[in-house]
A = this chain, B = another copy of it.
């Protein structure tokens, strides 16, 4: 918190508000305070940090935070307004993408003359972009639990099972391995469903000869992992091999090029050009990858519209894919940590076209 308190001047504000509700979570609030409850506001002024929450979190707020004033209230918006008024804070910095229009409207109504200052996206996204060694350990733990669970799940027969049963098996192994749960809804997309980049596990039964995209991640002490493998049930066709090879080559070229200082767009372009040269350019429907930490999707964004360069301490995915409507898809995703001595792949599953039964 203190590093933020000292920066208020730089942002031209008297106070900063971080706000978490059940429907709109400020991950920065958790990152900066340690508080994991679902409903809280944090006000940072040059001299103090105040956590405002409700009775459900009285004990938890004390346990999880330190060095903050804690206020337990019934009406949080009113308490935020009162706090700002009593501190004579008239220029309020906030996370514009994590605060609702409604909250801003309520505060500006309750505090005449209040000026809202959206904090820059760069500042907010860069807060968590370079991970500490402690964070790396947690992400690595999540990645290893998830890879182990995937390896074990793919050992058993897939043919004839529902996608959702495979997801259930995988998720039990996450828990057994020590994870808190899933990082996102597990994607098991078989046959034509593989053409859906976000094809959550469904009731569809897996058949022989199908490609199966398995995109999975678990959470360990709040931190996510994210990895994708593609399997084929039984023997693969020439076409399936060709598609897989196009994705595999793109994936490997990116890993080879990954180093401190390279632009995120440049990396995306390497993957895109590779898949394009193999004739599947129009089927690569999304960006190359994204940062992973307390959120499964966070900065840096490796995409044609991404900004900035890779820096030591970043953790991100490399996940090229090809999606052909009514046919299926292939995606290969590794979780990468850029250490001082180069990229380290934290996820552990192989990225070949995995043959399963």
- Interface on A for B, CB 8 Å cutoff? 22-25, 37-38, 54-60, 74, 94, 96-105, 116, 118, 164-165, 167-168, 171-172, 175-176, 178, 180-182, 185, 195-201, 285-286, 297, 305, 325
Contacts and interface: CB of A to CB of B under 8 A. Distances in A.
A37 B182 CA distance: 18
Nearest to A21: B97
A16 B115 CA distance: 27
A195 B57 CA distance: 10
B23 A198 contact: no
A2 to B, nearest CB: 26
B99 A60 contact: no
A56 B285 contact: yes
A111 B33 CA distance: 38
A345 B32 CA distance: 42
A102 to B, nearest CB: 4
Given A55-B285, A164-B180, A98 B172 contact: no
A335 to B, nearest CB: 18
Contact of A198 (B25, B38, B180, B198): B38
A57 B103 CA distance: 31
Nearest to A195: B59
A173 to B, nearest CB: 9
A97 B55 contact: no
Contacts of A286: 54-56
A23 B22 contact: no
A248 to B, nearest CB: 21
Given A24-B23, A182-B181, A57 B198 contact: yes
Contacts of A59: 195-196, 325
Given A25-B23, A38-B198, A167-B175, A285 B181 contact: no
Given A56-B197, A59-B325, A180-B200, 13 more contacts: A23-B24, A23-B25, A57-B196, A59-B195, A96-B105, A98-B100, A99-B101, A100-B101, A164-B180, A171-B171, A171-B172, A171-B181, A172-B175
Interface hub of A37, A103, A196 (most chain B Cβ within 10 A): A196
A200 B37 CA distance: 10
A25 to B, nearest CB: 7
A100 B101 CA distance: 5
A178 B164 CA distance: 8
Contacts of A185: 180-181
A37 B198 contact: yes
A293 to B, nearest CB: 14
A38 B23 CA distance: 13
A175 B181 contact: no
Contacts of A176: 168
B101 A60 contact: no
11 contacts: A23-B98, A56-B198, A96-B101, A96-B105, A97-B100, A101-B101, A101-B116, A164-B178, A171-B172, A171-B181, A180-B185
Contacts of A25: 23
Contacts of A22: 297
A24 B20 CA distance: 11
